[in-house]
Each structure stands twice: as structure tokens, then as C-alpha cells.
Chains A and B, each alone.
Chain A
Amino acid sequence: MDNILEINGIHTYIGQFHILEGVSVIVRRNAITVMLGRNGAGKTTTLKSILGLTPPREGTVIYNGKEIQGRRAYDIANLGIGYVPEHRAIFRNLSVMENLKIAERKKGDLEGKSEFIFGLFPDLKRLYRLPGNHLSGGQQQMLAVARALVADNKLLLIDEPSEGLAPILIEQMMEAIRILSASTTVLLVEQNFVMASKLAEYYYILDDGRTVHEGKMADLVEDKELIHQFLGTALQKGGRA
């Protein structure tokens, strides 16, 4: 199986709002796939639907050949899916160490991974004992990514890792994602088109809760018209970065 994850036409509601009206995405093993689209296109909801945080009412989510839609979120996560939510949802009242420790699925996970994690984000070693709310925005984002690396995850869902970061930190974050993608498959949501185009191999464009376009990133970069049609604002934002 070279597809680690297949999403087939999922429909997700939040309250009575029909947010996803048929999203289909395939994530190929050992590559970075990015979901693009305007604000409110349904990218974050798609990630949450995979994890079962907002369970889809229709459609299937197939992970490693098994249907996982309708299972509980913790159950899905334990299959080896790591989640880095948007807005750096770290636990601010826990120390950096506890933020990592809580992600352990079995004893010793953290010891085994700490060298790898500190290699990616050297800052965290220095901040190890500090509470999360003492960290800067960039440091919190790094901690959020690091937290998803503690357990033995086969697939990482990363939501807007560059959001609100200074350009130099974006560079560092890109480098980290590139390194970790050597051992893990990544499904990325990213507004920053420059970052997305440098990292990802495959792309999907979402619009109004539907998948409207897909292909190889190398082809999309050439297709200025398509970029303009669906990602107008996103491109400008990326252009600045």
C-alpha cells in the first residue's frame, strides 16, 4: 500500500452547519501532501474529521487499509496519527517537559525521542523546565510540533505551522518539517504558498468544503491562473513572506 490515508467524499457538520460537502484526499506514504485553500474552505475541519474530533457523517476515511471513521478520537490517534493544531494549542499550564511527557503512549517514548526532538528544536532543551505560558509564540509552535513527535506516529497532521511566525522562524520550521518528513508522512495545511510549494510534493485545493483540484506541486507552481483562481489571497500572503 503506498497510500497511508484515503479520504473519500466525507461530509462533516458542525452543529447544523454543513462544513465539508465531499472532500477527497489521498496521502501517499513518505511524502508531504499539502491542503491549500482560502480561509473557511474546510482545511482544518478536514484534519479534525480524520482524527474524529468532528466525526464525518458520510464518506470513508481509510488509514493503512482500515476504515477509521466513526471511531473515537483517542482511538484513532493511537493508531499512530499525530496532530499539530493551529494556534499552537500547547498546554500553557504544564511545563515544556510535561507537554512532551503527556504525549507518551508507552513509558520511555520521550527518552527515546528526546535526542531527535532537541536536534530539531535546540531551544526546547534550554526551556525544558519552564511552564508553557513563558514561551514565545515561535517556541510554542515548536513545542506543538515536538509534542506530535514523542509517540511513534506514522502520520502527522500539521495545521498552519507558519502562522504568525517571524520569517527566520519560518525557515527553521520548514527545515524541521523537511527533516521529520524523512521518517514520517506529513499532511500539511498551509496558507503560506511559498512555504507549501517548497515543502510539498502533492497538493489538494479545497474550496467551500469540496476538493476542487489536485496534483503534483511542481505542476501547480507553473499554473499561475489556477493559483490566482483559488488561492488569490493566499498567494499574496505567501508572496510577502
Chain B
Amino acid sequence: MRQGFFRRNATMLVVLGLIAVLGVIGWTTMGQQPFVRTTLSGLTIGALYFMVASGLTLIFGLMDVLNFAHGTMFMLGAYLGWQFYTNPTFLFGLFPLIFALLAGLVTSPILRSTFMSLKVSEKSQKSIQTVVALAGIALIVLAVRGLDILGLAKTAMVATMNMGNPLAEASAQEPLAIFWFRPVLMFIAGLLLATASARPGDRTQVVYASDKRQAWIISSSLLVLTVIATLLRESAPNAVLMWNGNLRFFAALAVGALCGAGLSAAVEVSLIRPLYVRPLYQVIVTLGLAYVLREIIQVLWDPLAYQMTRPPMFSQPGKAENILAWFSGQNLTVDVLGVTFPSYRLFIIVLGILMVIGLGVLMNYTRLGMIIRAGVQDRTMVEALGINVRKVFTIVFMLGAGLAALGGIGAAPFIPVQPNMGDAFQLQAFIVVVIGGMGSYSGAAIGALLLGLARAFGDYLALKFSLSPAIAEASTVIIMAIVLLVRPAGLFGKKE
């Protein structure tokens, strides 16, 4: 068995050994302080890469979906977390609208069975879809911005940081009787979009009774959520603002991750799921979604860059002598092996390590993990055993997006929060996935570690020898090229 262990983990051991050898060389040639500092920043970047790449690789491995909207989830998480941490009023005004829209969207299977038998000529099918979809989008715009045009209400907003946003201003102070129109309009918009995606008149579609039942349940629970969110939209943010900063920060991590997961569940069910038979369309849908979400973010928050302040526990002035001292002092920086390093970045490293361990436990020791590993290889056979693979798909999609969103909030205190902040991470995450092998979670962990370190040491070398900083960016691509030459399927990829 011992021998088997080494043979099975040969790649992992070789890569870790290489990193160790390079580390010893680095330590001796660079000197302790620069080496430790560079390694720590490499680990910070690597941790963030892992949070984006782990979801990407699972989604691709299990469902063959190249999710180009994954970096957007990272960005979205950052916005949501930052907004929740600084001032959640705007978010709580947004929740009822989103829940209402989703409640409408998920009715697609119900509408499909109703409308598919309509007698519509094939030509007009497409135009009906387009018109209905456009009407839905118009209603969304009306619900978010347009009520002012109808002269219903607009009063100034008392809360701080509203950034001159019509929705924030209106939703915070609108009388309930008027605010109700917004979620109702959103629900109708969702219904229209669902009608468009149900392709009225197309009889070749298959409707499963189980999908209809599920749609009823999800839609009605979302409607209940809409009502609750509408009623709480003023009292909830005030309560949150009373919490202390640390609690609010950890709540922001949770809220951002949950919102990211919830949103992508809706995306998977409404946009990705109908297209499993047409993989190329899925790529286009996720690409389009990335652009649309980014534009929505720009409309809601204006195309500016925001900076999230660090939570109090990482921002007390002064330096902690060691990590134990930080626990009592909660200082801004910590002394690690003679290097002064920001305590918040150490937190990110710890978060990354916890996530590697957590995902490892999930993948190797739970039934869900077993199903995911089996599904990466042969999802048809998993379904033939009596397992609802589609449900697993949705869960993995949620999990991946939740992790990416969590990474986004984690990064928000040291990366400007702006609409394109996810792009670089998505690109690097794709490289991580290719290096690690599509669908391999341990490959993503090793790949993220490699790329993070390569970036940090590349930056160090560029600075030291006054080379172009592009060297650091190129280094990741060079690593990918070398790995692909040696192992075309990636380090832990399937051999076929």
C-alpha cells in the first residue's frame, strides 16, 4: 500500500519537490527577508487564484461548461461584500427586486408546458421570443429606474454613501405602498423572460413533471422571500450598521458568498441548463452574461473604483511581534520571520488554506464529493445509478460561484473594487485550470500555488534586475507551456 501511495501521488510529490528545491535556492541566494516576503505575497495571490480556479475546474470537469462569467462572480462578490460592510441600505433595497425577478424566471418549465402547444408558425416563433424578451428587459429597467418618470415618489436619502443613485434614493424612502410596484414589475419581467426561454410553439421540447413541481416550489418560496425582503428593507440595514466592524466583515463574507451562489443557481437553472445539448451556446451565454452583469454593476454603482477598509481586527496601528501577539493586539502588521507583513494578507492565506482543506474533505470524504468525482468521469453512468445529476450540477455551480465571490470580498480590502477587477483573476484561473488538469481539484490547488509564487518571484526578479514587470505576467504562461509540453492533459488531468 505504501508503494501504491507514492506511485499514485507521483506528480504531486514531484511538483512539491521542485517547489522545495527552488525554495532552498531562493532562500540562499535572495537572503531571508526578501525571500519570506516574496513567498508570503505569492501565497496571498495563490490563495485568491485558488478560490476562483477551484470552482472553474469543477464546473468544467463535471459539466463541460467553460464558465466565462466566473471572474464576474469574483467582482460581484467584491461589490456585494464591500457594500454590505460599508452600508447595506442599498443592498437591502435591491434584494426584493432580485428575488421577485428570480421568482418569475424560474417558472420557465411551467410556462413551457403551457405554451409549447400553441399554434405558432416556425418563423414567428423567433420574433415572438425576441419581442417578449425585450418587453421583459424594458420592464426591468422601468422597475429599477423608471418609477420616477411615472412621478410616483422620490425623496432624498438620509443614509450615507448612496452615490447619487436613483434606486438607492427612492427605495430607501419610498412609502411601502409605492415601493411594492417595483418587485411586482420585476416579477412580471421575470415571467416574460421565462416565457421567451420557454420557446412558445416549439413542440419538440420535453417537459418533465418533476421540473414543473420543482419550479412551483422554488418560485413560491422566492415570492415569500420577496415579501419578507420588502418588509425588512429599512429595518434590516439599520440593525446591521449597529453591529461591530468585525462581525459585519464576516457577515459580509457570508452574504457575498451566498448571494453569488444564489445568483449562479438561478443562472444555471435558467440559462445554462437548457443548453447542455449545445455546449458552444453555453460558452456564448456565459460570455454574454459576464458583459451584461458588468454593465449592470456600472449602472448601479457608476464606473468608479472603491476601496474597502480593513475590518478593525486587522487595522489597529502598530506591529505584532508574532502571530500570537496579533490575537490580542489585532495589529495592522505582523512580524513573520523578521519580515513585516500585513495581517490581513495572512488572513487571506489562512482562508485559502482552509478552503483547500475544506474542499479536500468535501471531495474525498463525502457522498457529494464522491458523486462529483464520478460525474467528472462519466455523468451518464452516475445518472443511470439513480442519482439526480442535474441537482448536483446546480450545487457545483453554486459552490464554485460562492467560492469565487468569497475570494472577491477577501480581495476587496487590498484590490480596488471596480467592474473589471475579476478579469485578470479569471484569466489566471483559466491558466491554473489548464496547468492542474481540467476537472481536478488538487490540480487547481497546486496550479494556484505555482502561479501565485511565479507572480511574486517574477515581480521580485523584475524589480531587482530592472526588467519589465511584464516578466511576472509572462512567467505564468511560460509555466503553462512547459507543463503542457510534459503533460498535455495538465498535471492531474485525465489521460484520455
| A73 is an interface residue with CB less than 8 A from chain B | yes
Q: Please, how many angstroms separate the alpha-carbon atoms of A51 and B380 in the complex?
A: 11
Q: Are A102 and B385 in contact (CB under 8 A)?
A: yes
Q: Please, how many angstroms separate the alpha-carbon atoms of A91 and B383 in the complex?
A: 13
Please tell me which one of the listed residues A53, A93, A98, A129 contacts residue B380 in the complex, with CB atoms under 8 A apart: A53
Contacts A92-B377, A102-B371 known; A53 to B384 CB distance under 8 Å?
yes
Contacts A55-B206, A71-B208, A102-B371 known; A78 to B386 CB distance under 8 Å?
yes
Q: Please, how many angstroms separate the alpha-carbon atoms of A83 and B380 in the complex?
A: 11
Quote the shortest CB–CB distance from B222 to chain A (angstroms). Answer: 23
Quote the shortest CB–CB distance from A157 to chain B (angstroms). Answer: 9
Q: Are B382 and A102 in contact (CB under 8 A)?
A: yes
Please tell me which one of the listed residues B4, B380, B381, B388 contacts residue A72 in the complex, with CB atoms under 8 A apart: B388
Q: Are B378 and A91 in contact (CB under 8 A)?
A: yes
Q: How many A-B residue pairs have CB under 8 A?
A: 71
Quote the shortest CB–CB distance from B91 to chain A (angstroms). Answer: 37
Contacts A101-B370, A102-B371 known; A74 to B387 CB distance under 8 Å?
yes
Max chain B CB contacts within 10 Å: which of A53, A91, A130, A147? A91
Contacts A75-B210, A89-B378, A131-B8 known; A53 to B373 CB distance under 8 Å?
no
Nearest A residue (CB) for B380: A53
Nearest A residue (CB) for B371: A102
| B374 is an interface residue with CB less than 8 A from chain A | yes
Complex interface: chain A residues within 8 A of B382 (CB) = 102
Q: Please, how many angstroms separate the alpha-carbon atoms of A55 and B380 in the complex?
A: 13
Q: Are B374 and A102 in contact (CB under 8 A)?
A: yes
Interface residues of A in 97-149 (CB under 8 A from B): 98, 101-103, 105, 129-131, 147
Quote the shortest CB–CB distance from A135 to chain B (angstroms). Answer: 13
| B389 is an interface residue with CB less than 8 A from chain A | yes
Nearest A residue (CB) for B211: A72
Q: Are A94 and B389 in contact (CB under 8 A)?
A: no
Nearest A residue (CB) for B389: A74
Quote the shortest CB–CB distance from B82 to chain A (angstroms). Answer: 40
Contacts A55-B206, A91-B378, A92-B377 known; A73 to B370 CB distance under 8 Å?
no
Complex interface: chain B residues within 8 A of A91 (CB) = 373-374, 377-378, 381
Complex interface: chain A residues within 8 A of B377 (CB) = 91-93
Q: Please, how many angstroms separate the alpha-carbon atoms of A151 and B373 in the complex?
A: 20
Q: Are A74 and B373 in contact (CB under 8 A)?
A: no
Complex interface: chain B residues within 8 A of A75 (CB) = 210
Nearest A residue (CB) for B385: A103
Q: Are A77 and B8 in contact (CB under 8 A)?
A: no
Q: Are B383 and A73 in contact (CB under 8 A)?
A: yes
| A42 is an interface residue with CB less than 8 A from chain B | no
| A85 is an interface residue with CB less than 8 A from chain B | yes
**B-binding residues in A (CB < 8 A):** 51, 53, 55, 70-75, 77-78, 83, 85, 89, 91-94, 98, 101-103, 105, 129-131, 147, 151
A sample of 12 cross-chain residue pairs with beta-carbon separation below 8 angstroms, ordered by A number, consists of: A53-B383, A71-B208, A71-B210, A73-B383, A74-B383, A74-B388, A77-B384, A91-B373, A94-B373, A102-B382, A105-B386, A151-B385
